[in-house]
Amino acid sequence: DIQMTQSPASLSASLEEIVTITCQASQDIGNWLAWYQQKPGKSPQLLIYDATSLADGVPSRFSGSRSGTQYSLKISRLQVEDIGSYYCQQAHSNPRTFGGGTKLELK
């Protein structure tokens, strides 16, 4: 199985700050990578797919990038509605696997 190592596990940031979350894949997954946001008590929502493509309706302050087998999610200017947990997911092969998650809080 492909392992997705996500960091940090938790993150405290201020409004308008730039936030970056990373995921390291245990093997080459190409661009088969998605990011999800889960607000407290809610279902996850797709943010980014194919490593860099923004899902419909997602604000442009969210962006994804790739460097080899390392993937990053960047929030350019943190807003209060961005608070929650974030997960990466590889879609290269079964079983689909998620990173362990990053809990983002306001400082």
Side-chain half-sphere of 96: how many Cα atoms within 13 Å? 8
Nearer to another protein, 34 or 75 (CB): 34
In angstroms, the first-to-last Cα distance of the chain is 36
Instruction: Spell out, one character per residue from 9 to 48, where the chain touches another protein: x when CB under 8 A holds, - when not.
Output: -----------------------x-x-x-x----xxxx--
Instruction: Give the dihedral sign, CA 43/48/54/58.
Output: positive
Closest distance of CB 9 from another protein, Å: 10
Give the residues lining the site for another protein (CB under 8 A). Answer: 1, 32, 34, 36, 38, 43-46, 49-50, 55, 87, 89, 91, 94-101
